[in-house]
């Protein structure tokens, strides 16, 4: 048995397990909700930076960084100028839905 034959059976269960029984429209609905959440978080962070209080400015910058990570994971086509956007998106795609939710809420 060659090394290529050993790798093929291992790849098949991973592809079957990534579906998680979710329909295509539900996956796209979750992705669209993530993009809308990222855009709203970026807008709120920008709005929060319009102040003279340093804690508000720090919180606004933190919100914009969180929005960037969320958009990078859910919509890598928005970040085409970043070299590692495809790798981050591919890694995020391998996560289960509950793992993504825990990461985004954390």
Per-residue tens of pLDDT for the chain, all 106 residues: 555 555 545 444 444 445 567 788 888 888 888 888 889 999 999 999 998 899 999 999 999 998 988 888 877 777 777 778 778 878 887 888 788 778 777 6
Residue 74's pLDDT is: 79
pTM of the model: 0.66
Q: Yes or no: say if 67 and 42 are a contact pair by the CB < 8 Å rule.
A: yes
Residue located via tokens 């592809």: 15
Helix ranges (H only) for 1-106 are: 3-17, 24-48, 54-74, 85-93, 97-105
70 CB neighbour count, 10 Å cutoff: 21
Residue 2's pLDDT is: 53
């Amino acid at each position: 048995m060659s090394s290529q034959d050993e790798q093929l059976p291992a790849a098949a269960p991973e592809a079957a397990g990534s579906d998680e029984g979710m329909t295509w429209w539900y996956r796209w609905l979750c992705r669209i909700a993530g993009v809308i959440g990222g855009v709203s978080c970026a807008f709120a962070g920008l709005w929060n930076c319009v102040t003279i209080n340093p804690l508000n400015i720090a919180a606004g910058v933190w919100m914009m960084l969180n929005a960037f990570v969320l958009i990078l994971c859910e919509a890598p086509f928005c970040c085409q100028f970043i070299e590692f956007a495809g790798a981050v998106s591919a890694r995020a795609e391998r996560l289960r839905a509950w793992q993504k939710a825990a990461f985004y809420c954390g």
